[in-house]
Amino acid sequence: MTGARVTTTAAELAGLLRSAEPPVVLDVRWALGDPHGRDHYTAGHVPGAVYVDLDNELAAPPSAEGGRHPLPDLADLQESARKWGVRTGRPVVVYDDLGNTAAARAWWLLRYAGVAEVTLLDGALDAWRAAGLSLETGAPGAQPEGDVVLRAGGLPVTDADGAAELATTGVLLDARAAERYRGEVEPVDPRAGHIPGAVSAPTGENLAADGTFLPPEVLRKRFGGKGAAENARIGVYCGSGVTAAHQIAALALAGYDAALFPGSWSAWSADPARPATKGDRP
């Protein structure tokens, strides 16, 4: 994936929306503990954007084995993508209102499923507002049906065994907040702590103060300090496989490919046979 474009600026998106063939724009308004994403979308969104329900369209039902946000069945994802208007060869731009930490799930899934031109609106909705661009309110009109055909395998994934192996022979990054990594708090999952050998790399540290991604050279230095290197085998997990996708986008900007552990800590901590470590050391 390295080399593929990851972001689109607000000015670029505004220009594309005025073109003869505008991209599909997806609004993935979601935050842990906030069930009102659709209401936020209705109150104001990028003109023409389609609301995407992360819990129901970007994930399968939760389970102990799969975690809180298992990957959706590919046929279900294809049905949703066509409903959003995704067509073969048509670019897609995704955003949220939280630094793209939720929107990156849609970015990752579509890339994983073979959609080549998917980018994140750099700076998310704040960048659109800061540019003085208008918002649209209310529910969207009917979207022309898409025709995209999805095929799994466009991006690498790993399971719990693979994550454990990466933690000892490669680089396994924990994208959760540092206090969750250390095991000081655990608001949603069965146990506190982290996968033994994993390195703390909070997702929020991928972003500048304005919510845009840090420059590639800065990200490269950041991840280099976590053990990333040329030809290194890298994996990423978070709480449930959502913000880890944002980490993979940041890694791509830095020039690194990485595998997602979709079940993440929510699946790992639900298995009593899996060990957990606390503290600030891997």
DSSP the chain: -TTS--EE-HHHHHHHHTSSSPPEEEE---BTTB--HHHHHHH-BSTT-EE--HHHHSSPPPBTTTBSSPPPPHHHHHHHHHHHT--TT--EEEE-SSTTTTHHHHHHHHHHTT---EEEETTHHHHHHHTT---B-S---PPPPP-----S-SS-B--HHHHHHHHHHSEEEE-S-HHHHHTS--SSSSS-SB-TT-EE--GGGGB-TTSSBPPHHHHHHHHHTTT--TT--EEEE-SSSSHHHHHHHHHHHHT---EE-TTHHHHHTT-TTS--B-SS--
Do 25 and 140 touch, CB atoms closer than 8 A?
no
**157 vs 20, 163, 192, 270, CA distance in Å?**
36, 10, 24, 20
Amino acid at 28: V
Q: Which of 49, 124, 238, 260 is catalytic?
A: 238
Is position 238 annotated as part of the catalytic site? yes
User: Could you list the active site residues?
Assistant: 238
